[in-house]
Amino acid sequence: MMKRILVILGFLISISCFAQDRIQIDTINNDELVNIFNRIELLREFKTENLMIRLFSYDNESGSAKLNNGEVTQNIYFAVSEYDELPKQSLFRIKDLYSTEIVSIDNSRNDTVLIELTHIKNETKETLELELTINEIKKASR
């Protein structure tokens, strides 16, 4: 009987010594963070030799498209990061686009990415060509 108790006690001690730290799970009560994470969508993620780029869409308030059906516009975010131990990072935003679609991404250059997207403005589909680097985003000059 004593031998069994010692074996069980030894087993429990060995388990507690090798057990990983407990996982901590938190409820986030910050309304702004809750809102962001529930309204953001990853559109694309891609890499060049020097950069990691993520495009996110964030829905604006209901009715922001100013149509009778309550549709929304989106803000498009461009998160850009270098590959490094302490990378330079940038975040850019284009506000209030409606019905945005990414047409093409040319990431063949290492430090500059060309992005073509369409959106609807005044009931007309428009094309927007962008040049993205770690330092800026601007309309492409083609």
Instruction: Let me know if residue 23 belongs to a domain.
Output: no
Residue-wise pLDDT tens digits, 119-133:
998 889 999 999 999
State the DSSP string of 91-129: EEEEEEESS-EEEEEE--SSS-EEEEEEEEETTEEEEEE
Q: Which of 77, 78, 119, 76 is nearest to 100 (CA)?
A: 119
Instruction: Let me know if residue 12 belongs to a domain.
Output: no
Domain that holds residue 100: 30-139
Instruction: Let me know if residue 18 belongs to a domain.
Output: no
Instruction: Let me know if residue 129 belongs to a domain.
Output: yes
Residue-wise pLDDT tens digits, 30-52:
998 998 889 999 999 999 989 99
The answer to whether 98 touches 65, Cβ cutoff 8 Å, is yes
Q: How crowded is residue 132: how many other Cβ atoms within 10 Å of its Cβ?
A: 23
